[in-house]
Chain A
Amino acid sequence: MSRDVRPVGAVPACVLALLGLSLAAQIVLQITRDAGTEAAAQLPPAPGPDALRLASFGEPEAAARLAMVHLQAYRDPGYPRLVDWLESILALDPRSQYPLFSAARVYAETADAARSRTMLDFVHRHFLGDPQHRWPWLAHAALLAKHRLKDLPLARRYAQALERHATGADVPPWARQMEIFILEDMNELEAARIMIAGLLESGTLTDPAEMRFLKQKLEELEARRAAPRR
């Protein structure tokens, strides 16, 4: 791989100058470009599942996860479009839990009740497609419905769906008895702690990134509960 080359001095000065100036101009151009603004501006309409599958060139698992990471770049995505994207990504790789995780843990945890309900409805609809693997997201949806939306009938409906459909051996008993959990008089922090401990104990929660995320969420909850007492 070695080549015979002449010394740098053999290159005409105007070529060296052209190389140096064009490289400097390129760097300046890139510095002045705000890479994040465009991506975070507006979520484009979602491609259909078939179009997304076509674009994945036979790698649906990688494409689905990369699409989820791409979605995270939008700080305030319009929820109707967001749901379309999540639908398409879930159709691309139905065994990935990422779209439901994001719907339940990220996009549903908003102060806007209508948006939150949109996401909880998405989680509920798709829970029925694979209850034995998607139960953690509906369990979290039930907690959100009770504590954030203050909608006990909705929380009970989700808990009843869990009891009826999540009947696999890998589903821990507390998830199947979610309705009791919902009706108990405990605050959101206590409920979240019990749920995360249960997920860890049952071996459902193993991914290091998800553990970090949930730890951060718990800390946020603790801070929010501590704030009024100060």
Chain B
Amino acid sequence: MPAALPPSLVLARSVLLEARRGGLPWLLVASVVLAVSLAAFVSQVALTESLALQAAVVAALLRACAVFIVAAQITSSTLRELQDKGLELMLSLPLSRTTQYLGRLAGFIACGALIALVFALPLLLWAAPAVVALWGASLACETALVAAAALFFAMTLGQFVPAIASTAGLYLLARSIGAIQAIAGGPLAEPSLASRAAQHAVDAVALLLPPLENLTRTAWLLYEAPGAGAYALAIGGALLYTVVLAAAGLFDFHRRNL
């Protein structure tokens, strides 16, 4: 009975309903079909490790699809509500801004978790269920982080292109910051003042980014499951960053004059 649900859960449910009615399930099916087809095609020309190639391509593609779908869904949904004055209508209801923001975010996080579940299922063709479960749970945490980032940028920037570009920029930078740090601090880097300053600047940027490099790793599916400590640290880091983004979004939302 929706009427008996707390307001935040009613908001979350409306977010999920909107995703379902917007054709999201079909997009998920199309993503799985595309990833599996591409993996099957590429593995035809592989001379060895064909099964590992299939698993790696499917995992990498579905991870990217999950993140893109979550970010696009949240950004478009939030901005449509802002532009249709739906948010102003919601604010006229006897609900705190915190409840409104977190209820919406809970719905988006649940949506991301469902996407992670759907995208983890095909990987059972190549990896053990326990490892796939760890990968799927990690993807759910990753999509939760992306959901918090997309909601934050959509609410803050108020325009589709800047919001989606900022979400994608944050995500891609977080995915590659380790490699950027390795390049900046590599043995071929000049020992000049400018080079050292650049290295410190990169290290400073890294402090503000989520630890995505250790999350949802394809190596878990191909080689071995992650250690409990490393896995907990990766998940904990992602959840902490999700809280940071939610708090930043709440801060901005409470200050806004609507």
Contacts and interface: CB of A to CB of B under 8 A. Distances in A.
Interface of A: 1, 50-51, 53-54, 56-63, 65-66, 68-69, 72, 95-98, 101-102, 105-106, 207-210, 213
Given A1-B26, A58-B212, A68-B46, 15 more contacts: A50-B186, A54-B180, A56-B179, A57-B172, A59-B56, A62-B53, A62-B57, A66-B42, A69-B45, A96-B52, A97-B49, A98-B48, A106-B47, A210-B48, A213-B48
Contacts of B230: none
B219 interface: yes
A68 B173 CA distance: 25
Given A57-B176, A65-B49, A209 B56 contact: no
B172 A72 contact: no
A63 B53 CA distance: 9
Contact of A62 (B26, B45, B50, B218): B218
A62 B172 CA distance: 16
Contacts of B50: 207-210
Quick one: which of B23, B59, B222 has the most chain A CB within 10 A?
B222
Interface in B184-242: 186, 212-213, 218-219, 222-223
Contacts of B243: none
B47 A210 contact: yes
Nearest to B46: A209
Interface string B62-87: 01000000000000000000000000
Contacts of A59: 56, 59-60, 63, 218
A218 to B, nearest CB: 15
B123 to A, nearest CB: 13
Interface class of chain A by DSSP: helix
Interface residues of B, number: 33
Contacts of A98: 46-49
Contacts of B23: 1
A62 B42 CA distance: 11
10 contacts: A58-B175, A59-B63, A61-B56, A65-B46, A97-B49, A101-B48, A207-B48, A207-B50, A208-B51, A209-B50
Contacts of A101: 47-49
Contacts, number: 95
Contacts of B53: 62, 65-66, 69
A96 B47 CA distance: 13
Interface of B: 23, 26, 42-43, 45-53, 56-57, 59-60, 63, 172, 175-176, 178-180, 182-183, 186, 212-213, 218-219, 222-223
Contacts of A68: 46
Which of A58, A62, A69, A209 counts the most B-chain CB atoms under 10 A from its CB?
A58
Nearest to B174: A58
Which of B179, B180, B213, B222 has the most CB atoms of chain A within a 10 A radius of its CB? B179
CB-CB nearest 9 A-B residue pairs: A209-B50, A62-B56, A58-B175, A54-B179, A62-B60, A210-B48, A59-B60, A53-B179, A61-B218
A51 B42 contact: no
Contact of A209 (B48, B178, B222): B48
A61 B179 contact: no
B41 to A, nearest CB: 10
Contact of A97 (B48, B57, B176, B219): B48
A126 B47 CA distance: 20
Contact of A50 (B51, B182, B219): B182
Nearest to A106: B47
Nearest to A102: B47
The interface centre, meaning the residue of A72, A102, A207, A213 with most chain B CB atoms within 10 A of its CB, is: A207
Contact of B47 (A54, A56, A66, A209): A209
